[in-house]
Structure 1
């Protein structure tokens, strides 16, 4: 009995040999799997570390919200609307030049004098003709005055004779009625009276005619005098015009070189001077018609002429569009005037940046090489010592500013230098 119990106890404490082998195999398998996993992890860890690009030299900028000023570029030319070309009024000869290029003149200044012999001769002739016409007028008036005076005197004398003849007729009539005189004496007295009355009537008609003719002849002569005086004034004005003046105040831009040589032949309509008022200098620009609705009088622009840069404002916007030189785009003319006093050279070329509008609270970043190397859609956003490739949408590019429409927010930092060496990387490490 005791031997049987001991056997049972031994059986409980001892397992089958096959179970121990299985347990050991599982342990070995788990160890191998763990080793392989660790190896794979370390492989990819070291592989990633080996392939990640690091950069040391780069530039960054933060995205910020601000005011975006939209502009357009335009080219133009300096013009002087208040500019005149002074020409010779007559054929003549140079007498004296009294100014020089660059001189500031007024409308009263004499710039040069011309000698015009024909005008001088005409002035002398008209002066003599006027004197003769005035003497002739005096002669006409005097002649008619004496003629009228003589007629009046004759009429007065006839009136006295008529009075005597009327008395004779009355006396002979009374005597004839008394049979104290012949009838023929009375008839003769009546005939004498009638002749005197007819003669007086003739004188009165002559007097009336003389007065009418006097008035006509005086007016005719006065008209002749007036015509001579008019011609004389015109000639004097022409002579005065040979004393060359400018119709506007301003600066003498150019002078006909013949004016510097006394006696040089000057023909009518020859250009003598060009004078311009530089205070009224403008710049005319050609702007694409599509921007017409965005322009307004008083709008500002930045103008560059040569090495000079200045502010100007729009003073006139053209209403009629014309095609540009390539015939593809419609243009309008925009006239601008410098805000500050500037000395502009007529015909000088100008370039302007014209303000079209202002937008508030726009996301922006500075312009940089990343625009080109980022293919206009990628940036590298900086976070915790690394830069992550991020897709963005750009808006307007104005000068040195780029508008961000999507992909970034205010405060984000991006690399703004060239991406050329790492554009294919999703991640770069910053050192």
Structure 2
């Protein structure tokens, strides 16, 4: 969850939603996102809503956070009326693995007892490789988790150092193998490419390590330098060079070529999977306009065209819920045009693409021009779908601007 909250209108104290938002609830995919705001240390590039023990002091703890979480889930059930059973659960952070298998089991137990899980529900938690073990993964499997996402970032020691990552280069691969051995159905490794000082051979070694781990999903993201982070300050001082767009494009092509050759196919601009079953269903819910309740400090939610976001600090979050109030800091009601633009922005990133009929007349004309420019696939467009080409993926944001 980003550390800076957007502007918006005040959210109702009781968390209520307009009837229009609740109409059709259950007809769309419904997920629960849980934000764990705790980290042992802060990575230099990270702009998420996270807190180290020294930053929190005695003002908040995992126990007070968990109690607040239970109260927010109860609030969600009241607001939604007859909420659907949950199709996907995603526990993110922060560092959820700091809670241990027992703590994460309590988190899932709270979701299950409040909403219930749909048959075949996807249940994911992020984990830092350094705070995992075979016993940890066995405990997660016993609790009901069937998908793990591990933050690897790189297999090069000097790249990890620039990112302020504390795990050793080989630990992520070892953790992935332990997760599979424990019976976890799906395992993802996260990579970051384009870090200052990363060479093509460093990324090649990272990709080789990913493939050696035998995972069925990979997420790979270009390094983004966020204002206010330690990395941004180092670049501003001239200690490190800023990421180069041309280098980032080369690195992306290297990632795509290597993973594709190994049988991992892109299904979203930054995500590759070995099969359709291995795709992250929770994130697909975001990209396809589903509903989700985001619980935890700074978490964002969306139901029926209404989006809202919680207060950031764990202590304030827990206090509001203890008082019987919603922890929402603000919200926005998406207009028809807002929803149209977001649909283009999100669905165009998918390998299945966007229906040409979702665009207005001017947008359809731009789509035909984009196909002529090699940014959209011509045969797909002729069949009524806007699908990015390899070059189009490198310029996805520019294509979205053209179509909207």
TM-score (norm 2): 0.15
Bigger strand share: 1
| Rg larger for | 1
Flag the structure with more relative contact order, 1 or 2, with Cα contacts below 8 A and sequence separation at least 6: 1
TM-score normalised by structure 1 residue count = 0.14
